[in-house]
């Protein structure tokens, strides 16, 4: 194919799927992930600092921020469908992994639940008032890893 003339001399990629326990092990480390949802301007992806707490992804945002408002449907107990993605990819070797959690975003409104998720210790990075805790309850967790095999693809 014409496009392959641009291929760098990289070993061929081996592609493997990660099972759910492997994914949860990688998610458990916490740190920066990216939350994806449909907001007022269409599909939206924003990095957040998160922690895994009792099987849910917990992060903080401003109650009156665009994300806080977009994730709140305004209907009591209704939840927004969201994606949560983490990855670790090396541009140098073109190896790495990525994980996609799909589920519903649940704004933490009750004082009891708030007291519980504060124990996750999750901090927002951007400063300002980030008083709204949001939990993502996974309904689907998928992951994949790319490794390079010994054989070069080009050359």
- Give the footprint of a second copy on this chain (CB under 8 A): 1-3, 6-8, 12-15, 31-32, 34, 36-38, 41-47, 49, 60, 81-85, 87, 89, 91, 94, 98, 100, 102, 115, 118, 121, 123, 125-128, 131, 140, 144, 146, 153
How far apart are the C-alpha atoms of 128 and 142, rounded to whole Å? 33
Nearest to 14 by CA among 155, 151, 154: 151
Sheet strands (E) in 66-131: 80-90, 95-107
CB of 114 to a second copy, least distance (A): 8
CB of 78 to a second copy, least distance (A): 15
How do strand 56-61 and strand 80-90 relate by DSSP bridges?
unpaired
Residue 64 or 81: which CB sits closer to a second copy?
81
Residue 19 or 89: which CB sits closer to a second copy?
89
Residue with tokens 């994730």: 71
CB of 27 to a second copy, least distance (A): 14
Return the structure tokens found at 42: 């269409």
């Amino acid at each position: 194919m014409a496009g392959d003339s641009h291929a760098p001399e990289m070993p061929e990629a081996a592609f493997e799927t990660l099972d759910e326990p492997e994914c949860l092990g990688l998610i458990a480390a916490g740190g920066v992930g990216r939350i994806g949802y449909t907001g007022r301007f269409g599909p939206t992806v924003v990095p957040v600092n998160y922690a895994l707490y009792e099987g849910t992804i917990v992060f903080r945002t401003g109650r009156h921020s665009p994300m806080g408002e977009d994730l709140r449907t305004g209907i009591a107990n209704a939840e927004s469908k969201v994606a949560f993605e983490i990855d670790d990819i090396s541009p140098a070797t073109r190896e790495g992994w990525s994980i996609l959690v799909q589920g519903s975003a649940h704004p933490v409104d009750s004082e009891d639940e708030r007291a519980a998720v504060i124990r996750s210790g999750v901090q927002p990075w951007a400063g300002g008032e980030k008083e709204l805790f949001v939990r993502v309850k996974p309904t689907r967790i998928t992951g994949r890893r790319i490794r390079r095999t010994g054989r070069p693809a080009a050359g």
